[in-house]
Amino acid sequence: MQVDEETLVGRTVDVSPYGLLVVTAPTATLKVGHSYWVELVADKGNTLVALAEVRHVSGKGAGLKMTVRLPV
């Protein structure tokens, strides 16, 4: 994920057709309501790059709403 010209690495722990729950460290750099470019890398090496809006940030991670439907 690109945040203020820096790469933030995370792990997706939950996924739906238009959403992700991502565990990152630190999540403090993510701002609710802001959109960031996200690169998803599947276990087979397939990638998807899309814009995602931060919907919530908590101790469990960051909830992201994707602008494209995810292949789940």
User: What would the pLDDT profile of 12-48 be if each residue is shown by its tens digit?
Assistant: 999 999 999 999 877 668 899 999 999 998 878 889 9
Q: Domain of residue 54: give its range.
A: 2-66
pLDDT at 43: 79
pLDDT at 59: 85
CATH number of the domain that residue 17 is part of: 2.40.10
Neighbours of 10 (CB within 10 A): 18
In a domain, 28, yes or no: yes
In a domain, 72, yes or no: no
In a domain, 47, yes or no: yes
pLDDT at 71: 85
Structure token pair of residue 8: 């933030």
In a domain, 71, yes or no: no
Q: How many domains does the chain have?
A: 1
Q: How many whole angstroms separate alpha carbon 34 and alpha carbon 25?
A: 18
Neighbours of 12 (CB within 10 A): 16
Cβ–Cβ < 8 Å for 55, 32: yes
Report helix, strand or coil for 71.
coil
